Amino acid sequence: MKKLNLFDSHCHLDDPSFEPDFQEVVHRAATAGVHRMLVVGIDRPTSERAVALAKTNTGMYASVGVHPHDASACSDEVLAHLRSLASTPEVVAWGEIGLDFYRMYTPQKDQEQCFMRQLEIAGALNLPHIFHERDSRGRLLELLKAVPNNRRSAVVHCFSGTEDELGRYLDMGFYIGITGIVTINGRGKSLRRMIPSIPADRLLIETDSPYLTPAPRRNKFRRNEPAFVREVLLKIAEVRREDPSALAQQVWSNSCRLFRLDPSAS
């Protein structure tokens, strides 16, 4: 197999679990062929840390945003600060934003208000969006229609929806982020069934590290890390019956296109 060129389009390398061996994590990623990583913000502190990491590490980029779990803290002050951070060249997306009705750490009303405000800001800045959706039962799609934007580009992070939702996201021109869930026998069954119907030019791969460690790595490591995005790519290639090297190059191009990065730059 040819060497794979990989882009982990969603990770949380600012997480405290990476502090003791951060440089080793980065080295393992490079050894596995992961040459670019997007460190995703979920509130003010994590967005600040993501930007700091992107500024000091080659091949790292950042996003800023307020996750639905933190929607109750989505104040004018926080949003103004994130908007200021977004002017940093290393910030290539706004998110992770969206709705999460599975855990309901914040009331639905707060989640929806926070989401709508961030849609408007990201739209005004013309930044790609990173969407988090879990068990919103179509509500996220309803809100997107309520704030139309013909220029909107986005990835549905860690896609876990239905076939109907997948089709609607694709119709809106969105990319689909696939995590290590695709490698898990039971939990990933429905996702593996839908994988072949996703156009190759809409696929992104992500770890969501330190969460969602893919199989078989999860048998040995509890913490996920960017190097393990390779297992995600290989499983997708297996399910789609495609050459891993060709698929890796396509996904690299997709990631660079969404985040408006030069695909040939080192």
pLDDT tens string, the chain, 266 residues long: the values are: 467 999 999 999 999 999 999 999 999 999 999 999 999 999 999 999 999 999 999 999 999 999 999 999 999 999 999 999 999 999 999 999 999 999 889 999 999 999 999 999 999 999 999 999 999 999 999 999 998 888 999 999 999 999 999 999 999 999 999 999 999 999 999 999 999 999 999 999 999 999 999 999 999 999 999 999 999 999 999 999 999 999 999 999 999 999 999 999 65
Task: Residue 43: give its domain's CATH number.
Answer: 3.20.20.140
Cβ(203)–Cβ(251) below 8 Å? yes
Residues with Cβ < 8 Å from 167, sequence gap 6 or more?
none
Fill in the amino acid letter for 131: F
Size of the chain in residues? 266
Helices (H), the chain: 22-31, 44-56, 76-85, 108-125, 139-146, 163-171, 189-194, 229-240, 244-259
Domain contains 264: no
Domain assignment of residue 16, given as a range: 6-259
Domain contains 106: yes
Structurally, how many domains does the chain consist of? 1
Q: What is the pTM of this model?
A: 0.96
Which residues fall in the annotated binding site? 10, 12, 96, 132, 157, 208
Domain contains 153: yes
Which residues fall in the annotated binding site for a divalent metal cation? 10, 12, 96, 132, 157, 208
Q: Is the dihedral of CA 182, 133, 46, 250 positive or negative?
A: positive
- H helices, E strands: number in the chain: 9, 8
